[in-house]
Amino acid sequence: MFARGEDVTPSVLELAHGNEEIPSSLLVSDKFRPNTKLEEWGAIPVIDISYKERDVLRKMIGDAARDWGVFQVINHNLSIPEILLVAEEVKSFFHLPFEHKLKLELNPFKFADTEVYYTGDNSKQDLHSLHWAESLVCLRKSWCNLKEKVTRSSDLIFPGGNETFRSGTNEILMDCRGLTVEVLHLLAEYLGLESGFFSDRCFPDGMSFFRWNYYPSCPFPSATLGAHAHTDPNLLTILYQDKLGGLQVKKDDVWYGVKPMKEALIINIGDCLHIFSNAIFHAVVHQVLVNEKAHRLSLAVIYYLDHDADMTAPDVLVNDEHPRKFKSLSAEMYWRLVFEERTGKKYPESLSGLEALRDHILLPEGNICNMDVFMIQYSVF
C-alpha cells in the first residue's frame, strides 16, 4: 500500500535535482509498478485525418475507437511548431521557484471560480491520476469569449505578460476544437447517428481543460509512475507527447507503449463516449512511465459534455446482439459518481471512472451471472 502522508515533498521537480531516493509518499506498491519498458511499442492505429474518402476514414477511426479506444492522427490542422513554442514557455514556468508556482495551487473549495491551477505534490491528490508529475491547468467552463479567457489565464501564469503563450494557446485551442469536432462527427457517423450527435452536446457549453503535464526525471523509474492507470472521465482527449514518449495503453490485459511520432496527435476515447455509444467505443485504460535521465512534457486538451447532457445511448444502438448496457444518467450525475468513487478511500484502484457505474449496469433479463464477470464480458472496464 501507499505510505500516503509520509515524507511529503513540496515539488516533484525539486526531487529530480540531485536526489537518489523517492519519498515513500511517491512510491507505488508492487501491484501497480510498471512491468514493461518505454521502448515496447504497440500497434496503435495511425490514421491520416486528411484522407479524402470519407467512408474509408470513418471506418478507420470507428474501428480504432472500438478495438483500441486510442489512435494517432497525422496530417491534422494543428501546428506542431506552435505547440513546441508554447511548450518552451510552459517549461520556464515549471522551473520557476516553488514559492512562485504555489500562488496558483488549486484550492478545492474555490474550484468553481478557478481558471488556472498548478499541482506539484500529487501525494495529496486522490481525484486525478498524476503521481510523479507536476501540472499546469487552464479551465474553460464554456467556449464563449475564448480569447478573453485565454488572456486572463496567461496573465495569471505570467503576471508580466507572455505573448507567445497567450497567442499560441489561443491558436492551439481553436485548432483543437476543429479537430475534435471532425473526429466526433466521424465517430457519430460510424454509429449511424447524425454527424453532430456528440459535438452538439460538447460545444459550446461543455467544459474543457488545457493541461500541461511535466514528468521530471526519476532516479528509480521502475518504483513509481508518472500517472496511474486510469480512464478519462470525459468525452474525448487530444494529447501531444514529446519525443521521449511514456504513454502506455492497455488492451486485452497487455500494456503497449504509444510510440512518439513527430507530427502526430493522440486521441483517447473517454468514459462518456463509452457510455453514450452503448459500450461500442472503448474507454482506453492508460498510464504514464517516467524517464531516468530526462524530463518530459505533454499537453492534453480534454473535452467534457455539457453537464446537463443526457448520456443515454440512442435506441438505434440497442438490439438483441447489443442490449442496453447502462441505465439513463446525465453527464453531471456521472461525474458526481466518479467523485464519490475516487473519494471513497479506494485510490488508486478507483481511477477507472467506469467502476463508478456498478449500480448503473443493466444485466440482461433473467441473467444472474457474477457482476464482475458481466462487466468484463461486456467491455464495461
- Pairing relation of β-strands 247-251 and 285-288? antiparallel
By CB atoms closer than 10 A (0-12, 13-18, 19+), residue 29 is exposed
DSSP, res 279:
T
Alpha-helix runs per DSSP H in 205-351: 271-276, 331-342
Active site residue 358: no
The DSSP secondary structure of 113-133, one letter per residue, reads G-SEEEE--GGG-SSS-B-S-
How far lies 215's CA from each of 56, 91, 122, 290, in Å? 37, 11, 12, 7
Determine the pLDDT at residue 18. Answer: 61
Determine the pLDDT at residue 369. Answer: 40
Q: Coil, helix or strand for 271?
A: helix
Determine the pLDDT at residue 310. Answer: 93
Q: What is the mean pLDDT of each run of 10 residues along the chain (381 residues)?
A: 38 70 79 74 94 96 98 96 96 92 76 79 66 88 79 92 95 94 98 96 86 92 88 94 92 91 95 95 94 93 90 94 91 86 64 75 54 38 36
Contact 355, 318 (CB under 8 A): no
By CB atoms closer than 10 A (0-12, 13-18, 19+), residue 219 is middle
Please, which residues have CB within 8 angstroms of residue 330's CB and are 6 or more apart in sequence? 307, 308, 309, 310, 311
In the β-sheet with 247-251, what is the strand arrangement from edge to edge?
A: 227-230, 285-288, 247-251, 254-257
Taking alpha carbons only, the member of 287, 273, 258, 254 closest to residue 354 is 273
Contact 10, 25 (CB under 8 A): no
Active-site residue, from 66, 140, 201, 296: 296
Determine the pLDDT at residue 121. Answer: 72
Determine the pLDDT at residue 366. Answer: 42
